[in-house]
Amino acid sequence: AGEHIEAFPLPHALYGEGRRNSTGADLTCLVQRRPLDEAIAKTHVPPVPEASTAQIELAMGTLHTGFEAWSARPLAERAAIIRKAGDLLDARLAEFCGLLVKEAHKTLGDCVAEVREAVDFCRYYADQAEQRLAEQTLPGPTGESNTLRLHGRGVFVCISPWNFPLAIFAGQVVAALVTGNTVAAKPAEQTPAVAQRMVELLREAGVPEDALILLHGPGETVGAGLVADARTAGVCFTGSTQVARLINRALAQKDGPIVPLIAETGGLNAMLVDSTALPEQVVDAVVQSAFRSAGQRCSALRLLCVHEGIADGVIEMIKGAMAELSVGDPALLATDVGPVIDDEAFTGISRHVERLRREAKLLGETALSAGSAAVPRLVAPIAFELPRISDLRQEIFGPVLHVVRWSGDVDAVVREINALGYGLTFGIQTRIDSRAARLAHQARIGNVYVNRNMIGAVVGVQPFGGEGLSGTGPKAGGPHYLYRFCAEQTVTINTAAAGGNATLLAGGH
């Protein structure tokens, strides 16, 4: 506490006036500590009402009608509103951090990073919309003009997760809005208040009441109701692979227009370490990637594939680093690993850990300090060794690292990782540059990170998203994202009218 300023080494918030540095990354964010503490102390998380079937019906009607006016607003106006939302959010960092700590139990460092990522999404998508969606003139024969125009599709349903309750929620919603869609947003049940507050902020920035409506409640009822609605023109979903399949099925079965699904789902993310890798660098990357955010990132490292020749040394160092992690109250700056989201998550991860304690080799675990007893749902980071890559079958959304040793053909390791079927993030640690490039190309994985950690994709710098079981693309925070929210129209005009035909006939065709 106190007046002093803490520095968070965060590569976020690259967009906006004067924010880009020459490398495009590694900007340090200076945050005053006292406003954060004050915000946390005074934040209480308000309850939110669940949407009824009648409210869903009413909301979809309103948004369907509202589409006409919102999509008719000039692109520059919509972009200005979204940019303003980014500025408002930037100014309210402390308030949103308070809410994120209290509702999502994220560590302070994660909260600051998340608010700044949400700011980036607003600024980036506003910029991208203006650069990419403007009407284009296409080449054509004499006597004809051709233009290509992108416009919103209608009512977009945005379903977002609890692990980035602000950044992913805001990213989906502003992408859909800036492209001219109206939005029915269904945030995760665990984190409705952050979403509620963000919607209030978007209204303050100028988003009309009939362009964005928040509907709280379970996916099985509210989410399913929105997806099944005949007025739904698109669905943007981040969450589990299993739920993405349910949404796909529901969309396939309903009558009405064929609508796109943008899905960003799970991962079984691996890091491949060869015998030339720098152990200190590997250990730092592993600890960040596997345990930061209590492993509750879809980008998180689950499977470390380390070359037999250096495995013992690397594992020893990872154990040492794990012993130093501080697990506890997310509101304390010293905390590295906070609680997991809810009792269901805690039980699921604990069950997996208990099974591995019986069936696999325990490599190391972080001890919970006596002081952390008062904090519920803490899972101590833990690492196990598995015999084979294929022994990992399921994404465990917590601070559990699985380690496999390999020797022989490095390309075969990548084939095995590809065979897991997910394709979200992949780490490569090697001092052989040509090998890194080759393996990266072989991996059918959306985000590849060489000689660094594999989380914390920066908007516009590492557009984020995978393939296979990890989702449909396009990548969030990337230059192709907005297109998928749009319908395209070409308009061809016979500018020569009747004269055009005469010319053709005269030409003997």
Residues at the contact surface with ligand UN1, assessed by CB under 6 A: 161, 163-164, 238, 297-299, 455-457, 464
Residue number with CB closer to ligand UN1 (163 or 182): 163
Residue number with CB closer to ligand UN1 (119 or 457): 457
Count Cβ atoms below 10 Å from residue 126 Cβ, excluding itself.
Answer: 25
- What is the distance between the alpha carbons of residues 48 and 199, in angstroms, rounded to a whole number? 13
Backbone angles phi and psi of 70, in degrees to 5:
-65, -40
CA distances from 39 to 93, 108, 166, 447 (A): 10, 12, 16, 35
155-159/182-186 β-pairing: parallel
236 is catalytic: no
- What is the distance between the alpha carbons of residues 324 and 298, in angstroms, rounded to a whole number? 24
Q: How far is the CB of 451 from ligand UN1 (least distance, A)?
A: 17
Residue number with CB closer to ligand UN1 (140 or 479): 479
Residue number with CB closer to ligand UN1 (94 or 455): 455
For tokens 């390999």, the residue is 406
Residue number with CB closer to ligand UN1 (161 or 399): 161
Q: How far is the CB of 236 from ligand UN1 (least distance, A)?
A: 13
- What is the distance between the alpha carbons of residues 412 and 403, in angstroms, rounded to a whole number? 17
- Please tell me which residue in 264, 385, 395, 416 is annotated as part of the active site: 264
Residue number with CB closer to ligand UN1 (246 or 432): 246
Q: How far is the CB of 429 from ligand UN1 (least distance, A)?
A: 18
Coil, helix or strand at residue 96: helix
- What is the distance between the alpha carbons of residues 246 and 240, in angstroms, rounded to a whole number? 10
Q: How far is the CB of 100 from ligand UN1 (least distance, A)?
A: 14
Q: How far is the CB of 261 from ligand UN1 (least distance, A)?
A: 16
Q: Which of 179, 312, 298, 316 is nearest to 234 (CA)?
A: 179
298 is catalytic: yes
Q: Which of 476, 466, 462, 391 is nearest to 423 (CA)?
A: 466
CA distances from 299 to 234, 245, 271, 446 (A): 25, 20, 11, 10
- Please tell me which residue in 97, 111, 298, 486 is annotated as part of the active site: 298
Q: How far is the CB of 464 from ligand UN1 (least distance, A)?
A: 5
DSSP sequence for 288-323: HHHHGGGG-STT-EEEEEEEHHHHHHHHHHHHHHHH
The residues that are catalytic are 264, 298
